A and B are shown apart, each in its own frame.
Chain A
Amino acid sequence: MPTLIDKIWAAHGVRDLGDGWALLHIDRTLVHDLIGSMVEQFADSGRTLADPDLVFATPDHAVSSAPGRTATTYPLGGRLHGALKEACAKLGVRFFDIGQEGQGIVHVMGPELGLVLPGTTVICCDSHTCTNGALGALAFGVGSTEMVHALATSTLRMRKPKQMRLTLDGVLGQGVTAKDVILHIIGTLGASAGVEHLVEYAGSAVRDMEVEARLTLCNLSVELGARSGIVAPDEKAIAYLRGRRYAPAGAQFEQAGAYWRSLFSDDDAVFDREEAIDVAAVAPTVTWGTSPEDAIAVNGVIPGPDASKDAAKQRSIAAALDYMGLEAGRPIAGTPIDRVFIGSCTNSRISDLRAAAAIARGRRVAPNVSAWVVPGSVAVKRAAEAEGLDQVFLDAGFEWREPGCSMCVAANGEQAGPGVRVVSTSNRNFVGRQGPGTRTHLASPAMAAAAAVAGAIIDVRSL
């Protein structure tokens, strides 16, 4: 009867608070530099941290990604870094500092270190905490007040969200990745389809995906409006975790594995909403507007306000076309671009960099295009360098930079200018996300690399 989420929820109920509310145990709290001042206040206020061993921190949002950067290369970020580092020392929280194995985008570092385990509850003051659901964890973003609650008590007061199952069947076509699939889903169902829900991704296409592809899939759950996404842990997830630094070892790993294999939705489980998508029909996908739901096949045409029957959405489409400097009815392919950003918690893992490097190898970034590759973590960077991917990118004219969020949110000052058109492997094309007036097109790493060499949005399959 129970769903995967029901099982995890039940295992974490400290107390039933009535009216559908529960006091839920939180197994892992991940912390980043953007809330450095808040953690500093927590430490200074004399509050005690309920369980320092369950909290892990790293600077990612506001650190420079410039080669040779230090904590203070971006001064505002340096202040947050300092505050976080000091507070962590005071509170006894493990802090993965710049240059150390473990530093990286918080949602890249958590799975990579084996901190995120199937069946655990994971929170972070960041909406893309949903990424971690790929390993079968119940992982979601919280605001800073809830974060303080979790730091002080290792729990959260929560009402169980509704549940949606998204079944993905079929085989991915050539040049199509998990990023294209999730953009296509958001384009089809809309950016508020998942509101008030947790989403379980199921189906043969999800089982066929490697763990890193599932991380990309789950990463955009919040862009579907959902609080989180989750995939039932299988042998791939278990194999992924074996030997990771904070994953259990030896007999305890086997004991854990036996439990993890019991975490799936029962055959007769009932969901509040069910949707099915045939991924065989998905083409390489790119966004044209200022919401992730503005996603179309790369060989499609830019829609106009008449594409929606909803008045508020029609106004949004018109405003988006204006902001993006695009004309309805024209093909999206062929749109000239200025910059490319390959990175972010969506697409900065080793498999992403390999996919981009496969396109970059032996080619050159188009003149007038500036293209960055920002690995997701120190570990990813080192792995890529060991394979020579850095050289592939450098030879092709890409910049090879230091790990962090960088241009995904531009909280470290790495903004593109007004009117600058960027193809980005990140997850948000919001107005001003990459800098005031900057125009963002979301795409997969291979599509972004293809755009870099073509100097325009282009179908990666045509290269």
Chain B
Amino acid sequence: MDPFTTVTGRAAPLLLANIDTDVIIRVEHLTAPDQTVLGRYAFESLRYEADGSEKAGFVLNRPDFRGAPILLAGANFGCGSSREGAVTAIQQMGIRSVIAPSFGDIFYGNCFQNGLLPIRLPENVIAELAAAPLLSVDLARQAVIAGNAVHPFEIDPRRREALLEGLDDIGLTLKQMAAIRDFQSHDRVARPWVWTPVALNGTTS
């Protein structure tokens, strides 16, 4: 994962509540062999007419917001499914950070796994940001900057560090395998029923 430091650019306002993961990326694109073209299908139902032409009114189709690196959204953005393609589809559109009052929990976690920065800010602050011509998202300072206005945001310190440094969780945890095996050997004694039935796994049919 690439590290995240700062992003500066236009912020496209998509201020609807409960934008769900099916709206962000339809499931059939996740069954397609090529997963590098998801960006084309992001927000499909909002972005395109039934005949495939672009809807002129949709914010990310407007010339001034096309390719904007920051998205402003309504409450509960990314609610719904666990599909990580929802994060990659947004990233493939060129968006690096999403600012919303709240996020779907799994989507929020998936953002950090892929280097998309989700920022929680109150609705009134987001309304203010929507009026700014240019925004800067500074992860090291933990702030969104619009002209002279600096809006600090909260973020879990571990997640912030992992993003800033582009850390790989799996690599870190693999170093703990001895502790994991140790836990398991104790657990086999404490809760044998968790382990015995599935030990037959390969042999039952």
Mark contacts of B79-91 with chain A using CB atoms, 8 A cut-off: 1 yes-contact digit, 0 otherwise. Answer: 1111110010000
Q: Pick the contact of A153: B82, B180, B193 (CB < 8 A).
A: B180
The answer to whether B201 touches A23 (Cβ under 8 A) is: no
The answer to whether A432 touches B110 (Cβ under 8 A) is: no
The answer to whether A225 touches B105 (Cβ under 8 A) is: yes
When distances are taken between beta carbons in the complex, the residues of chain B under 8 Å from A313 are 17, 74-75
Closest residue to A245 on the B side, CB-wise? Answer: B204
When distances are taken between beta carbons in the complex, the residues of chain B under 8 Å from A304 are none
Known: A120-B194, A312-B123, A410-B27. A145 touches B113 (CB 8 A): yes
The answer to whether B45 touches A432 (Cβ under 8 A) is: yes
Closest residue to B111 on the A side, CB-wise? Answer: A143
Q: How many Å from the CB of B140 to the closest CB on chain A?
A: 18
**Is A166 positioned at the interface, with any CB of B under 8 Å from its CB?**
no
> Using a CB-CB cutoff of 8 Å, which residues 199-240 of chain A contact chain B?
222, 225-227
Closest residue to B105 on the A side, CB-wise? Answer: A227
When distances are taken between beta carbons in the complex, the residues of chain B under 8 Å from A227 are 105-106
When distances are taken between beta carbons in the complex, the residues of chain B under 8 Å from A319 are 16
> Using a CB-CB cutoff of 8 Å, which residues 20-46 of chain B contact chain A?
20, 22-23, 26-28, 30-33, 44-45
The answer to whether B173 touches A157 (Cβ under 8 A) is: yes
Q: How many Å from the CB of A320 to the closest CB on chain B?
A: 9
The answer to whether B18 touches A293 (Cβ under 8 A) is: yes
Q: Pick the contact of B75: A25, A192, A255, A411 (CB < 8 A).
A: A192
Known: A53-B201, A428-B22, A432-B45. A152 touches B31 (CB 8 A): no
Closest residue to A293 on the B side, CB-wise? Answer: B18
The answer to whether B28 touches A225 (Cβ under 8 A) is: no
**Is A441 positioned at the interface, with any CB of B under 8 Å from its CB?**
no
Closest residue to A153 on the B side, CB-wise? Answer: B173
When distances are taken between beta carbons in the complex, the residues of chain A under 8 Å from B169 are 145, 149, 157
Give the B-binding residues of A (Cβ under 8 A). Answer: 11, 14-15, 17, 19, 21, 23, 25, 27, 34, 37, 50-54, 56, 61-62, 76-77, 79-80, 92, 94, 100, 114-115, 117, 119-120, 125-127, 141-146, 148-149, 152-155, 157, 159, 161, 191-192, 195-196, 222, 225-227, 245-249, 252-253, 255-256, 259, 291, 293, 310-313, 315-316, 319, 409-411, 413, 418, 428, 430-433, 436-437
Q: A248-B193, A410-B27 are in contact. List 14 more A-B contacts (CB 8 A).
A: A51-B184, A141-B82, A144-B84, A152-B170, A157-B173, A161-B105, A225-B76, A247-B197, A248-B197, A312-B123, A319-B16, A411-B28, A428-B80, A432-B44
